[in-house]
Every structure is written in C-alpha cells, then in structure tokens.
Amino acid sequence: MKCVVCSRDAGEKGYCELHLKAYENIVKNYDAWKKALEISWKEYLSGVVKNPLTGEWAKEVAEYLIKSGDKESVA
C-alpha cells in the first residue's frame, strides 16, 4: 500500500511515517484550537494550508484532507 499523499510505502491509516506524524500533529493541534475557537475541521485545515509556518508535510496532509472531504477522523 502506498501513502495517500506521496508514493512512499504506507503503514497505519494509509500514510507513510512522515505524513502520519504530520497528520497526528494536525489532529492534536485541532483539539487545542477547538477549545479556544469556534472553528470547523475544514476551516482549521484551510488555516493550516495558508499558514506560512506550516511545514511541508503537514501542508500536504491538510491539502489531501480538504480534497478528500475527510471528516474529522480522530480515533
């Protein structure tokens, strides 16, 4: 199985190791944001993509999540 974002070998959840890390950070940060702001998952993801401080990996994951219309899939 390939990573849904790049074409490296994927493990858990369809992400490679690097993108899985980025994904986990995105979800974790959203939990923190949600407590402070009224922000939807989609709005949050757009913010991640637009933020110049967002790392390349996280940006790719956020773009993928927006495109795929993924619901907040927090385990």
- Give residues in contact with Zn ion (CB under 5 A): 3, 5-6, 8, 16, 19
DSSP 8-state symbol, 49: H
Between 19 and 26, CB nearer to Zn ion? 19
CA distance 22 to 16: 10
Helices (H), 1-75: 17-36, 41-50, 56-68
Between 16 and 62, CB nearer to Zn ion? 16
Q: Which residue is nearest to Zn ion (CB)?
A: 3
CB of 71 to Zn ion, least distance (A): 21
